[in-house]
């Protein structure tokens, strides 16, 4: 993965801090077109030229395509001019804008901008139908059928990578180990859904929502008992992996309401992010037989009701465009690389996320 791509991913992760407010419009799961614009601007505040390819300004996350979402239109610009682009696939696909002219370096005092627009068809109805058992339990308040249907996890060569410890999802940390012992003391280890319930209830009851840049390590979230969407989802993934439940982090763009606006600044004013209409968000994904991969989001939902953190979350109910899946490592690891680059090269970034329903 190139240094520039690390910047593109880290820039998105910086926006994974959607305020857990009441959503501005009631949606019924259906098929909708979502407009997503991502704008990057970078200025060289240092005294030496920086290769344009190393700034990340021309690279953007590219929406995933799967049975629940399809890309219908793409547009790219560089310094205000329509340009061509190249698309690269994988779990975290990205698009590279191809600049016009002979741009190679960003000289001191110079700034450039690039942006992309996506129109994505999102099928929230199909997503919601995949968790109908959880919805029934949520409505009736009776979880006995979920517990009866829950099956033990049998790891195969594919699933094993989703339970491994990594530097970012390190469940060998002593604080995480204490939480794991607590969960196993009150949950039925033979029923993954019961383990998930216990973990979600713990995070729901004890971790307060709090934005911070850069993201926290999972043990820090546990130590300070606070964190935003990427912090909480990384904590969930870490603990679930430590319990032998395959899991990973997913992130994307969520539409909230037409009047939503959030501005954040970090790195001593060198990183400025604005979100309009919605913005970046992250959540956890856990493998629960027989249902398969289930999304869990402790930022959205009703306090004290663990099922609401599945059935009431944006992924299953609202226009949410999935931009990527972190399966091999937590996002904060790449974020730290981005911060070091900002400090070393003295690059000032302005990033805009705009989301609306077409």
The whole-number average pLDDT for the span 275-280 is: 90
Beta-strand runs (E) in 256-303: 261-266, 271-276, 278-288, 292-296
234-247 pLDDT, tens digit each: 999 999 999 999 99
Handedness of CA 244, 17, 322, 315 (dihedral sign): positive
The 8-class DSSP code of residue 66 comes to: B
Is 2 strand, coil or helix?
A: coil
Nearest to 312 by CA among 331, 328, 295, 293: 295
* Token pair recorded at residue 126: 């199909």
**What pLDDT, on a 0 to 100 scale, did the predictor assign at position 207?**
97
122-150 pLDDT, tens digit each: 999 999 999 999 999 999 999 999 999 99
> How many Cα atoms within 13 Å fall on the side-chain side of residue 221?
35
Stronger pLDDT, 202 or 324, i.e. the higher one: 202
Q: Which segments of the chain does DSSP mark as H helices, in order?
A: 3-14, 124-129, 132-140, 144-149, 174-186, 192-206, 218-224, 229-242, 308-311, 314-317, 331-345
Return the ∠ at Cα 285 (arms to 282 and 287), rounded to 5°: 175
The whole-number average pLDDT for the span 199-220 is: 90
Residue 142's alpha-carbon distances to 119, 135, 139, 187, 292, in angstroms, are: 39, 10, 8, 17, 21
The whole-number average pLDDT for the span 251-258 is: 90
Question: Residue 293 sits in which domain range?
Answer: 3-357
pLDDT band of 173, cuts 50, 70, 90: very high
pLDDT band of 280, cuts 50, 70, 90: confident
pLDDT higher than 80, residue 316 = yes
> Is the distance from CB of 302 to CB of 312 less than 8 angstroms?
yes
pLDDT band of 5, cuts 50, 70, 90: very low
**What pLDDT, on a 0 to 100 scale, did the predictor assign at position 4?**
37
* Token pair recorded at residue 168: 């970012």
**What pLDDT, on a 0 to 100 scale, did the predictor assign at position 332?**
56
**What pLDDT, on a 0 to 100 scale, did the predictor assign at position 77?**
97
The whole-number average pLDDT for the span 98-109 is: 90
Nearest to 314 by CA among 253, 259, 230: 253
Region class of 126: left (phi > 0), else alpha (psi between -120 and 50), else beta: alpha
Question: pLDDT over 90 for what percent of the chain?
Answer: 70
**What pLDDT, on a 0 to 100 scale, did the predictor assign at position 342?**
62
**What pLDDT, on a 0 to 100 scale, did the predictor assign at position 241?**
98
pLDDT higher than 80, residue 261 = yes
Q: pTM for the full model?
A: 0.88
pLDDT higher than 60, residue 16 = no
Nearest to 355 by CA among 22, 8, 33: 33
Here the CATH number for the domain that contains residue 338 is: 3.10.620.30
**What pLDDT, on a 0 to 100 scale, did the predictor assign at position 71?**
97
The whole-number average pLDDT for the span 91-98 is: 91
**For the chain, what is the domain count?**
1
What is the distance between the alpha carbons of residues 134 and 123, in angstroms, rounded to a whole number?
Answer: 19
**What pLDDT, on a 0 to 100 scale, did the predictor assign at position 53?**
86
Least confident of 2-16, 69-83, 150-164: 2-16
17-29 pLDDT, tens digit each: 444 444 444 567 7
The whole-number average pLDDT for the span 203-225 is: 90
Averaged pLDDT of the chain? 88
pLDDT higher than 50, residue 64 = yes
Stronger pLDDT, 331 or 161, i.e. the higher one: 161
Question: Could you tell me which residues come within 8 angstroms of residue 51 by beta carbon, excluding any fewer than 6 positions away?
Answer: 104, 105, 106
């Amino acid at each position: 993965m190139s240094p520039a791509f690390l910047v593109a991913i880290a820039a998105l992760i910086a926006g994974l801090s959607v305020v857990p407010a009441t959503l501005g419009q009631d949606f019924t799961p259906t098929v909708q077109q979502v407009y997503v614009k991502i704008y990057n601007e970078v200025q060289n505040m240092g005294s030496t030229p920086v290769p344009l390819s190393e700034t990340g300004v021309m690279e953007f996350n590219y929406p995933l395509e799967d049975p629940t979402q399809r890309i219908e239109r793409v547009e790219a610009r560089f310094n205000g001019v329509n340009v061509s682009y190249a698309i690269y696939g994988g779990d975290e696909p990205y698009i590279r804008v191809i600049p016009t002219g002979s741009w190679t370096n960003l000289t001191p005092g110079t700034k450039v901008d690039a942006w992309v627009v996506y129109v994505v068809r999102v099928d929230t109805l199909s997503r919601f139908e995949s968790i109908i058992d959880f919805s029934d339990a949520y409505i009736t308040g009776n979880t006995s059928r979920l517990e009866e249907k829950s099956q033990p996890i049998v790891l195969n060569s594919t699933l094993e990578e989703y339970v491994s410890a990594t530097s970012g999802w390190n469940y060998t940390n002593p604080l995480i180990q204490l939480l794991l012992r607590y969960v196993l003391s009150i949950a039925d280890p033979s029923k993954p859904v019961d383990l998930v319930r216990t973990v979600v209830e713990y995070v729901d009851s004890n971790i307060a929502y709090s934005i911070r840049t850069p993201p926290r390590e999972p043990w820090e979230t546990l130590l300070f008992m606070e964190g935003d969407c990427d912090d909480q989802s990384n904590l969930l993934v870490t603990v679930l992996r430590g319990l032998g439940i395959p899991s990973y982090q997913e992130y994307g763009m969520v539409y909230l309401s037409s009047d939503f606006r959030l501005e954040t600044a970090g790195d001593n004013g060198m990183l400025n992010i604005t979100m309009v209409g919605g913005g970046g968000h992250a959540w956890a994904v856990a493998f629960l037989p027989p249902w398969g991969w289930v999304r869990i989001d402790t930022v959205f939902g009703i306090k004290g009701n663990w099922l609401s953190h599945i059935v009431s979350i944006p992924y299953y109910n609202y226009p949410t465009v999935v931009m990527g899946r972190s399966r091999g490592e937590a996002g904060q690891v790449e974020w730290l690389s981005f911060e070091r680059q900002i400090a070393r090269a003295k690059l000032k970034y302005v990033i805009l996320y705009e989301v609306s329903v077409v």
